[in-house]
């Protein structure tokens, strides 16, 4: 494939940034008691999944590496975004994919192949070593000039890009809601809010209550997901609470809800698929069952249960990911 090489700056200029902040008026029980907004990171680019752009943004930059290595599953939004970016920018990309899709490539893998990405399929045991020092050292020796990027693009650098997303929100808000898998996106949101003292408390509120950040766990991981988030945030920000569904949210910095994973990562029982299909035929934008579908389901459920303070201004981050649903 002949690739059209672009400079990073030219590429960035082609993106829809800041992403739109769209008022959202679902006809859901309880929705009239609050103000809902959707931060449309899914609209940043038709191919690059929203939060994956945020997480990769500062990996690229002045010193573009000549090669990169990264990891993911067969439907990975991260590998898809990375593959497209590397193709556009002329960076050699090697990816390590869990499972053998050699004879049954997913649409994601077919795109990677089209973009000239080098693919290595590994079994689960090998994939498990993706964060081990020795394994990474061997990989680095094999690709001496390559920058190795962790699964999901989740590294400290990713938080800077997520902060840009929060900084773009130009309304006063009470709560931000986003799906959680590796935790870097949620950690980036928490850090962005806590790093700016003006952000820490809602300007609108005379009671000066704290902003809350609510993560929706998309996989089974009570305790585990919190620890993933905590590893990315300074200890002073690490305060969190566990909230049971149905109770009003306490004035907390952040928490993760574990009632909406639907059995685990990428598990999509019929009621979730039906919710997404119905949503996509009636709402002004689309969701998918792995991330955004669970997040919007959670919002609907929490609204019905009266989990939000009346008049709250709630920003739901649409992290993209529609390619994974193909």
Ligand X SMILES: *Cc1c(COP(=O)(O)O)cnc(C)c1O
**Which of 43, 56, 184, 302 touches ligand X by CB under 6 A?**
184
**Which of 36, 111, 321, 325 touches ligand X by CB under 6 A?**
321
Per-residue x/- track, 4-33, ligand X (CB under 6 A): ------------------------------
Q: What are phi and psi of 175, to 5 degrees?
A: -140, 140
Report if residue 154 touches ligand X, rule: CB under 6 A.
yes
**Which of 84, 127, 260, 291 touches ligand X by CB under 6 A?**
291
d(CA 119, CA 60): 21
d(CA 94, CA 158): 20
DSSP string, 172-227: --SEEEEEESSSHHHHHHHHHHHHSHHHHB-TT-TT-PBPEEEEEESSS-TTHHHH
Are 303 and 28 in contact, with CB atoms under 8 Å apart? yes
Piece in contact with ligand X (CB under 6 A), picked from 4-12, 85-93, 182-190, 237-245:
182-190
d(CA 271, CA 151): 29
Q: Which of 123, 132, 125, 69 is nearest to 95 (CA)?
A: 69
| E strands, 218-273, in order | 254-257
Report if residue 180 touches ligand X, rule: CB under 6 A.
yes
Contacts to ligand X from residues 45-74, by CB under 6 A: 49, 51-52
Report if residue 191 touches ligand X, rule: CB under 6 A.
no
Q: Which is nearer to ligand X, 148 or 162 (CB)?
A: 162
Q: Is the Cα torsion angle 191, 227, 52, 262 positive or negative in sign?
A: negative
Report if residue 319 touches ligand X, rule: CB under 6 A.
yes
Piece in contact with ligand X (CB under 6 A), picked from 104-112, 173-181, 199-207, 266-274:
173-181
Piece in contact with ligand X (CB under 6 A), picked from 17-25, 114-122, 180-188, 204-212:
180-188
Interface size with ligand X, residues (CB under 6 A): 18
Q: How far is the CB of 18 from ligand X (least distance, A)?
A: 18
**Which of 77, 191, 194, 237 touches ligand X by CB under 6 A?**
77
Pair of tokens at residue 148: 């190795």
Q: How far is the CB of 53 from ligand X (least distance, A)?
A: 10
Are 70 and 83 in contact, with CB atoms under 8 Å apart? no
Are 49 and 130 in contact, with CB atoms under 8 Å apart? no
Q: Does the N-terminal peptide bond of residue 18 adopt cis geometry, omega within 30 degrees of 0?
A: yes
**Which of 183, 221, 289, 293 touches ligand X by CB under 6 A?**
183
DSSP state, 240?
B
Report if residue 161 touches ligand X, rule: CB under 6 A.
no
Q: Which of 260, 272, 253, 161 is nearest to 214 (CA)?
A: 253
Piece in contact with ligand X (CB under 6 A), picked from 57-65, 95-103, 183-191, 250-258:
183-191
Q: Which is nearer to ligand X, 30 or 72 (CB)?
A: 72
Pair of tokens at residue 21: 């902040």
Q: Which is nearer to ligand X, 149 or 180 (CB)?
A: 180
Residue numbers of the site for ligand X (CB under 6 A)?
A: 49, 51-52, 77, 152, 154, 179-186, 291, 319-321
């Amino acid at each position: 494939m002949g690739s059209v090489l672009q400079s990073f700056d030219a590429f960035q200029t082609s993106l829809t940034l800041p992403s739109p902040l769209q008022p959202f008026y679902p006809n859901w029980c309880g929705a009239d008691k609050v103000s809902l907004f959707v931060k449309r990171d899914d609209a940043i680019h038709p191919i690059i999944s929203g939060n994956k752009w945020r997480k990769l943004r500062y990996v690229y930059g002045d010193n573009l590496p000549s090669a990169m290595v990264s990891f993911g599953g067969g439907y990975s939004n991260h590998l898809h975004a990375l593959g497209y970016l590397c193709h556009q920018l002329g960076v050699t990309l090697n990816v390590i994919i869990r499972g053998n899709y050699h004879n049954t490539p997913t649409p994601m893998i077919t795109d990677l192949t089209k973009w000239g990405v080098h693919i290595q399929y590994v079994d689960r045991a090998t994939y498990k070593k993706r964060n081990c020092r020795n394994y990474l050292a061997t990989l680095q020796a094999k690709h001496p000039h390559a920058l190795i990027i962790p699964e999901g693009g989740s590294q400290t650098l990713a938080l800077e890009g997520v902060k840009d997303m929060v900084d773009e929100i130009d309304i006063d808000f009470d709560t931000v809601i986003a799906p959680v898998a590796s935790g870097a996106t949620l950690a980036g949101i928490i850090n962005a809010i806590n790093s700016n003292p003006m952000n820490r408390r809602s300007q609108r509120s005379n009671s000066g209550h704290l902003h809350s950040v609510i993560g929706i766990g998309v996989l089974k991981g009570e305790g585990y997901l919190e620890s993933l988030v905590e590893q990315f945030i300074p200890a002073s920000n690490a305060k969190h609470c566990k909230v049971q569904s149905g109770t009003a949210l306490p004035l907390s910095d952040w928490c993760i809800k574990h009632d909406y994973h639907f059995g685990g990562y990428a598990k999509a029982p019929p009621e979730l698929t039906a919710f997404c299909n119905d949503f996509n035929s009636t709402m002004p934008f689309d969701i998918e069952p792995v991330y955004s579908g669970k997040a919007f389901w959670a919002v609907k459920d929490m609204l019905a249960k009266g989990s939000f303070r009346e008049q709250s201004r709630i920003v739901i981050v649409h992290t993209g990911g529609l390619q994974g649903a193909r």
